[in-house]
Chain A
């Protein structure tokens, strides 16, 4: 069965400090991994994705994520957090094989709060 875990419901970090939002996954076959962000009263906005190639993926707003196959992780990172990064972050996985080609499997989300 495909699943995504975001072990932290909340992450708090001071502005200017590095941030990490954790994600681990379980999927049959090769994983295709995504990060989305949700600001209040907005939809899920795409941040970045890992398909193949370089394990470090760069995305929007200075975010990056590192794919680690041995640890089945895809942690979201940013070197220097901004107050405006405060939002709800979702990790999602899509399996490479099988009938569930289109669907995304989401984690429960992690609320990131960056204080000034």
Chain B
């Protein structure tokens, strides 16, 4: 069964450093998402992406964040200058179409620790 994969599983970085989190969505999916979960809190939407453009972003997704699909398979989330409060589990998801009835399939997550 096709799966969304994410690398690395755990990333430790110093405050102020740039990090890139990588995701490989399911191959025939066209819509891609990033969510995050700060420890003990809800899973929160960050951004959705389609046709090489951001479709929607939340208030969390400020200028420190960017997304890119650098090739036909990868989808990345970059945080330019990490803050302590960026420490969280980051989930990538993909869906085949953009419809309220469509299912988003999630990867295993990358745990980001900012020291």
Contact = CB atoms under 8 A, between A and B. Distances in A.
B45 A43 contact: no
A41 B44 contact: no
Interface in B1-54: 3-4, 6, 9, 31, 33, 35, 40-45, 48
Contact of B108 (A43, A95, A105): A43
Contacts, number: 66
A116 interface: no
Nearest to B58: A103
B106 A45 contact: yes
Interface residues of B, number: 30
A49 B105 CA distance: 13
Contacts of B103: 34, 46, 49
Interface of B: 3-4, 6, 9, 31, 33, 35, 40-45, 48, 55-56, 58, 91, 93, 95, 98, 100-101, 103-109
Interface of A: 4, 32, 34, 36, 41-46, 49, 51, 90, 92, 94-96, 99-109
